[in-house]
Amino acid sequence: MRLEDLGWNDFFASKFTTYRTSGEGAGGIAGRVCEQHRDLYRVLTVSGEVVANVSGRFRGEIQRAADLPAVGDWVALRMREASRAAIQRVLPRESQLSRRAAGARAEEQIIAANVDTVFIVTAMDADFSLRRIERYLLQAHDSGVRPVVVLSKSDIADDVEGKRLACTAIAPQTPVHAISAATRDGIESLRPYLGRGQTAAFVGSSGVGKSTLVNALFGTDVQVTRAVRRSDNKGRHTTTYRRLIPLPGGALLLDTPGMREVQLWADEEALDAMFDDVAAAAEGCRFRDCRHQQEPGCAVRGQIADERLQSFHKQQKELAHLHRQTDMQAAQAEKRRWKAIHKHMRNFRSGGKG
């Protein structure tokens, strides 16, 4: 297998060359993370798959969890044995699909790294939600990854065309495909996004058919699947960890566990890109700082559907809260840093007098 078959390109080659010539990376080889299990990683290389962990030196340099290797990352390895290695460095990412990590602190969690296309998979049953699709699209806009909406289970859905048009209405520039992994109807419409060396990630709720779709594209069962519950059309998480799977045709598929909630990690520019219809309508507002709520002369209210405008306000409020949290955490971290510096200086002066 060549590195190019795993998604290697000039961008990564340049970063790896810089690392190797720095002295620290002499003798290292490149690989791509395909699985993560706690502190162990499976990494694809030209010589095959190896098991690796993060070197002590590199771990000591890491400032935040998002800097650790993620599935899809290109890493610099130092071989220890024939099939074991140490990760010395994560190469800079071309893209990263992120969400807010669970917990009280505002921290970034990398869902997938170095992805070209993200397939937002939604079943056309009780799971179908335009508001959830908007949140996934916002993630994609922030990451710089090309989004494609995949409406699954078309063989058992009602009003397939109506749901497809509803998706197109909220994201006119985003391709929308209705497919059935069970009957393979529409599967071939996804092939153009899966050229040699291209990486596609699958995101969506549990039970929407992501793993079934991966199996259909692969041509055999590489992912375990389970039936959803009839009572609520929900399913347990079939995929319990992220996994990068090379396709026979040369593309790579990254399956992810189902997400019960889409916790946002994005900026205002991504929000404006996702809700460009709101931004366009706002040009006609009487006041430049119009919040599109109760202000007189608002051109947005009445022109944008109520549900979509409510979704905009909800995500805008959520992101504002996120940014306040991250700013506060950064200020606290800076305060702790200076406190430690001053303590070190006092101890040094005290020791000098003695």
Mean pLDDT of 51-60: 93
Domain 275-354, second-level architecture: Orthogonal Bundle (1.10)
Among all chains, which residue has been given the structure tokens 């939600």?
129
Specify whether the CB–CB gap between 215 and 181 falls below 8 A. Answer: yes
Homologous superfamily of the 96-255 domain (CATH): P-loop containing nucleotide triphosphate hydrolases (3.40.50.300)
The ranges of the chain annotated as CATH 3.40.50.300 are 96-255
pLDDT level of residue 332 (50, 70, 90 thresholds): low
What global pTM score does this model have? 0.78
Six token digits for residue 26: 């002499």
CATH 1.10.40 range(s) for the chain read 275-354
Structure tokens at 112: 């997938």
Q: Is the pLDDT of residue 32 over 80?
A: yes
Task: Flag whether pLDDT at 339 surpasses 50.
Answer: yes
**Residues in Cβ contact with 217 at an 8 Å cutoff, skipping those fewer than 6 apart:** 187, 190, 194, 247, 253
Residues 156-186 have pLDDT tens digits of 888 999 999 999 988 888 999 999 988 999 9
Place domain 3-90 in its CATH homologous superfamily.
Answer: Nucleic acid-binding proteins (2.40.50.140)
> pLDDT tens digits for 115-164?
999 999 999 987 788 988 988 888 888 888 899 999 999 998 889 999 99
Domain(s) of CATH 2.40.50.140: residues in the chain? 3-90
Sequence-separated (6 or more) residues with CB below 8 Å from residue 31: 43, 44, 45, 50, 52, 74, 75, 77, 85
